[in-house]
Structures are given as C-alpha cells and as structure tokens.
Structure 1
Amino acid sequence: MTVSTDNLVVDIVRTLEKEGVPPDAYQLGREFDPEALARLLESGGDAVEVRLEVRGISLVATSHGVWVTDEPPSSQPECPNCGLPVAAVVQLVPAYHTAYPCGCHVEGDLLE
C-alpha cells in the first residue's frame, strides 16, 4: 500500500479535529516530520506502527490509517550528555552512535 504524505497529513488533521484540536493550535512540521513518517510507513508495510502525540492526543499511524489511542507514547530517554530527550540513535559507522536530535555521542544501546 502506498502511503502519501498528503493523505497522511489529512488523516492526522481530521483525527485531531474529531478530538477537538483546532488546526491553528499546532504545526505538524514542528511536532514530527510528515514526509519521514510517510516513508517509514511505506517502507515497513503492515509491520510498522508508529505512536506519536500531538497536543496531548496520542495517535497511532500505520499504512492503513491514523487513529486515537488511550495509550500514550513511551517516554523518550534523556541524552546522558546534555539531558535532552532522545528520539533516535543514528549509526553511520560501526563504532559511533549519535543521539537525535541533540547530536551527542552516545552508546548504541541507549534506546534498548
């Protein structure tokens, strides 16, 4: 199934509107990267389920759609160097791991 960024954004906006969140209360591009989310859902197929939160509303996004869940997304661990929340650990070479979004050097198992 092809996941288009436009359809994903429309699904998220409609879901948030149903929950009473007006469109002028948030900017999706500041909450998460809609294009990256669409690519992730497209590449992972039916096996990928992404949980995110927009203005206090917990959402689940899959290649089949977006819906509200009562389960909040798991909290992000803090970077051991700077204390900012870590969304991902990027590995460009085998021995070097970088926390995202802060960019600090971290251990590879930080998110495990």
Structure 2
Amino acid sequence: MQGKRTEGILPGNPKLSFESFGQTKHAIMNVAGKGNITNYNPERENPETNLLICSDRDLNIKDERILEMNFNENPLKVLTFYFDEKIFVISAEAYFRFANSCMILQRLNQIWGD
C-alpha cells in the first residue's frame, strides 16, 4: 500500500514504523523502549543516597546555569554539570523537553540579551 503508516507503538515494545513508497520502505521511527539517563552506580552508591536522587521534577528552566550549558554534549555530561555531580535518574523524554526549552531560551538570550 502506498503511503501507509503503522502507528500506535507502545513504549517498551520494540518495533519499526515504516512509510511505504511502492516497493521501497523507509524507516521513520524506531522505538526500542523507555529508558532513563542516570549516573547512579549501585556498586559505588550506598542505599541511603536513594533519598537524595534528583529526578525529572528537579529540572528547572529558571536556573541561570542553563545559559552556560552546551546541549550539543552528551546528555549524561550535561546533566552531571546541571546537578553538580549529584546522583540523578532522568527520563529521556523529560531531558529532551528540558534541553529543547533551554536551547530556545539560550537563543532568545543571544538575540535580545537580558
């Protein structure tokens, strides 16, 4: 079928979504599960630190450090800088939403300043 799309992929169920053009198929998305970005190392951290883990709700675009951050870097490096090397577990979805908002604010600050 020409132009047919398969959608409705649930996170955690790996599947390719294709758009067909005659005999050719072009992958438009690959969903392989829902993951988190973390610097947590169970061999290095003790159980008491679980109370101090930074999470999605700790991402704040009002923090002035976002103007210094380089979102072209690896997300692990960006988050390590943002959380001052504290332990964090951040969903990929929340990170990219945060990063996109921060990059827009950086650009606006570049154009219009403070």
Q: TM-score, normalised by structure 2?
A: 0.27
Between Structure 1 and Structure 2, the one with more strand by share is: 1
Structure holding more helix per residue: 2
**Bigger radius of gyration among the two:** 2
TM-score normalised per structure 1: 0.28
